[in-house]
Amino acid sequence: MDQFTINLLFVGASFALYIGIAIWARAGSTSEFYAAGRGVHPVTNGMATAADWMSAASFISMAGLIAFVGYDNSTYLMGWTGGYVLLALLLAPYLRKFGKFTVSEFIGDRFYSPTARLVAVICLIIASVTYVIGQMTGVGVAFGRFLEVSNTTGLLIGAVVVFAYAVFGGMKGVTYTQVAQYVVLIMAYTIPAVFISLQLTGNPIPALGLFGDHAASGEPLLAKLDQIVRELGFGEYTAHNDDTFNMVLFTLSLMIGTAGLPHVIMRFFTVPKVSDARWSAGWALVFIALLYLTAPAVGAMARLNITEQFWPNGASGEPVSVETIESNPEYDWMATWQKTGMLGWEDKNGDGKIAYFNDGNADTKAAMEAAGWGSENELTNFNRDILVLANPEIANLPSWVIGLVAAGGLAAALSTAAGLLLAISSAVSHDLLKGQFTPDMSEKSELLSARIAMAVAIAVATYLGLNPPGFAAQTVALAFGLAAASIFPVLMMGIFTKVNSKGAVAGMITGLVVTLVYIFLHKGWMFIPDTNSFTDADPLLGTIKSTSFGAVGAAINFAVAFTVSKMTTPIPREIEELVESVRVPRGAGAAVDGH
Amino acid sequence: MADQTTSNAAQAESDQKYWSANVRIIIISLIIWALVSFGFGVLLRPMISGIAVGGTDLGFWFAQQGSIIVFLALIFFYAWRMNKLDKEFGVEEE
């Protein structure tokens, strides 16, 4: 059986599993499921949250970004997990005590203002749409590869599947489908990593293998990797090459963004008790950590494998020949990925060899020229988003592992894309249309407008996914920046301070607008290419890259909110009581739908 | 009626104490949270670079794995500590 058929089988079987579970969960337990307050077990909820939250960015994109940058991209690891600490300590228990189902409702009630609710909904929609663009980028990569078509075709096919899936996923039983998706995605991520770790270090646990010894040379794996990338003129893998300020700010943006993402926060509203909301964040992070502790090992090991494929006898030997790439089955992955347009090489000096090195480094360039390998890097294109999907092929793992990874990548992208589309469509139909403009809307037209909103969101995301503002993980980082600048501060002030409605509204608007403008100035207006005035190489304010700006936006939000609040009337007595009651778990009761 | 007012006032005072204790635990937890990530993982990495871990140093380990493990421990510690505090102040749910 060829690889294409095997991939189709795995992807098809996993889809059948999700659909089967969705039907089973729906038929069997509707009443228990929706009786809010009894809800789902914290461990199950943790698994579902992990699947909901770990998206294409975590699964497909993150290890690739770490692999090609090394230590400096630890920001993604610390940022995306560190946010759960903020969520567990600063938001989840209080929002659960408040007892409503949506973030915008909390904001509307706490700040006793329909305007505050409206602004919150707009913030939510903007952050979520940006997030979906990142998912579509990942979906395009995954479908492009396993259907062996171009990235663009893959993206268009993916868009149709995501739409169908999101409409379907909107039905009951989503939680158990996500549990299944978690199981598929974590197996797909760790099984190849175990194989690769065994090959390279003899250690079956990749997270430990990363700090173990390289079996072939006996040296520590990371020391070996540092040595070979240094010889090719790249920055050392474990060294700090980027600027520290930006690294700290970016990590902080991802952390507060995680704690500000509505589709994650919503998860903690459904557990039975306030104490469960506290445990629940911990369980979610346990399941997320299984992937996040493996990811740095996947990145480092893949980088070593790729580099050694281009330089089979080390950087002082000969680079790989075009003939080897074309005839040796170990290099088949390069031909398959070339078809997607995300990998490219060119024998620029016509010597029959493909020399991969950093031609931006003058010393390396001179050394390569002296050795007769030309003065230009001949690996012309290596999209970092393909790394995780290509990894098992690069390591020559059995074809069923490759099929499994294809299924896992799609599970990650689909579960998050579906969750986000649901959040967007319900925000538009429920919070915007029914809540603000046409309160007497029928249930039928509400449902219809939700579907239309979903279709519009996916069309926008697909269009922008064709020209994404960055790799999947970087685009997602922008979405986190927007959530960080708008939603997180207002939720925190709602619980920990007595900021009033005018302060909250002013804070949210300034935080969102300033951050959005900063991002658009760097990534193009509405993310349309070539409309940008700056790039991340020449940031607007000193060293602050657009992906790191969320933390600054949040600080501006806080500052504006406090200032405006101080200058206007204090909150009414009953809201003061509301704030005090949210702080104490006693008498929480079940969450209610307040619409 | 007078009793009612006194007990309400006592309740409010107890709730206030509960909240201060909670905030204190949050602050301590957040200091550790910042120390292992921004601290050991980035800013203080040069300070602890003498400690070798598998071909690199302790700061690299904290940045890539150590901080995640500490985050997990923090959340579970907080949940356990707060659930205990709820009982001490009698504010837990039935």
Cβ–Cβ pairs < 8 A, chains A and B: 135
Could you give the 3-state DSSP secondary structure of residue A58? helix
pLDDT of residue A30: 39
pLDDT of residue A31: 42
Cβ pair A88:B15 closer than 8 A: no
| H/E element, B52 | strand B52-53
Angle between helices A221-231 and A274-310 (to 10 degrees): 50
Could you give the 3-state DSSP secondary structure of residue A61? helix
A147-176: b or e for each residue (b if 16 or more CB lie within 10 Å)? bebebeebbbbbbebbbebbbebbeebbbb
- Using CA atoms, how far apart are residues A57 and B50, in angstroms rounded to an integer? 34
Cβ pair A275:B83 closer than 8 A: yes
pLDDT of residue A537: 84
Beta bridge partners of A381: A344
Residue by residue, pLDDT tens for chain B (94 residues) are 456 667 788 888 999 999 999 999 999 999 999 999 999 999 999 999 899 998 899 999 999 999 999 999 999 999 999 999 999 998 888 6
Residues of chain A neighbouring B90 (CB-CB closer than 8 A): 586
Nearest to A78 among B41, B60, B72 (CB): B41
Residues of chain B neighbouring A580 (CB-CB closer than 8 A): 15
A140 within 8 A of A152, measured Cβ to Cβ:
yes
Cα distance from N-terminal residue to C-terminal residue, chain B: 27
On whether any CB of chain B is under 8 Å from the CB of A210, the answer is: yes
pLDDT of residue B79: 95
Chain B nearest C-alpha distance from A115 (Å): 30
Cβ pair B71:A210 closer than 8 A: no
pLDDT of residue A170: 55
Residue A543: half-sphere exposure toward Cβ, Cα within 13 Å: 9
Angle between helices A443-466 and A114-146 (to 10 degrees): 50
Strand ranges in A462-516 using DSSP code E only, listed in sequence order: none
pLDDT of residue B86: 94
Cβ pair B60:A238 closer than 8 A: yes
Residues of chain A neighbouring B29 (CB-CB closer than 8 A): 85, 89
Cβ pair A275:B64 closer than 8 A: no
CA neighbor of A382 nearest in space, from A302, A320, A463? A302
| H/E element, A408 | helix A399-426
What letter does residue B56 receive in the DSSP assignment? E
On whether any CB of chain A is under 8 Å from the CB of B31, the answer is: no
CA distances from B83 to A29, A120, A281, A504 (A): 30, 31, 14, 31
Domain boundaries, chain B: 2-89
Cβ pair A248:B38 closer than 8 A: yes
Residues of chain B neighbouring A235 (CB-CB closer than 8 A): none
Cβ pair A285:B72 closer than 8 A: yes
Which B residues in the span 36-65 are in contact with A, Cβ-Cβ below 8 Å?
37-38, 41-43, 45, 53-57, 60-61, 63-65
Could you give the 3-state DSSP secondary structure of residue A354? strand
Residues of chain B neighbouring A207 (CB-CB closer than 8 A): 65
On whether any CB of chain B is under 8 Å from the CB of A248, the answer is: yes
Cβ pair A88:B91 closer than 8 A: no
A432-461: b or e for each residue (b if 16 or more CB lie within 10 Å)? bbbbeeeeebeeeeeeebbeebbeebbebb
pLDDT of residue A268: 78
What letter does residue B90 receive in the DSSP assignment? T
On whether any CB of chain B is under 8 Å from the CB of A560, the answer is: no
Task: Choose the mutation target among A54, A65, A71, A255 for the interface with B, i.e. most B CBs under 10 Å.
Answer: A71
pLDDT of residue A169: 57
Nearest to B65 among A207, A282, A285 (CB): A207
Cβ pair B79:A286 closer than 8 A: no
On whether any CB of chain B is under 8 Å from the CB of A326, the answer is: no
- By CB atoms closer than 10 A (0-12, 13-18, 19+), residue A349 is middle
Chain B nearest C-alpha distance from A392 (Å): 22
A429 within 8 A of A446, measured Cβ to Cβ:
yes
Residue by residue, pLDDT tens for chain A (595 residues) are 788 899 889 988 988 888 787 777 654 443 443 333 455 677 888 888 898 888 888 888 899 999 999 999 999 999 999 999 999 999 999 998 887 777 888 999 999 999 999 999 999 999 998 888 888 888 888 888 878 888 889 889 888 888 877 776 554 556 778 888 899 999 999 999 999 999 999 999 999 999 999 998 899 999 999 999 999 999 999 999 888 999 999 999 999 999 988 878 877 777 778 888 888 889 999 999 999 999 999 999 999 999 999 999 888 889 999 999 999 988 988 988 888 888 999 999 989 999 999 999 999 999 999 998 988 999 999 988 889 989 888 888 898 998 899 888 888 887 788 778 877 887 888 778 877 777 887 877 877 888 888 888 888 888 888 888 888 888 888 999 999 999 999 999 999 999 999 999 999 999 999 999 999 999 888 888 888 888 888 888 888 999 999 999 999 999 999 999 999 999 999 999 999 999 999 877 666 654 4
Chain B nearest C-alpha distance from A225 (Å): 10
Angle between helices A114-146 and A103-110 (to 10 degrees): 160
Task: Choose the mutation target among B18, B75, B83 for the interface with A, i.e. most A CBs under 10 Å.
Answer: B75
Nearest to B55 among A74, A223, A584 (CB): A223
pLDDT of residue A34: 38
Cβ pair A244:B55 closer than 8 A: no
By C-alpha distance, the chain B residue nearest A577 is B12
Cβ pair A285:B22 closer than 8 A: no
On whether any CB of chain A is under 8 Å from the CB of B75, the answer is: yes
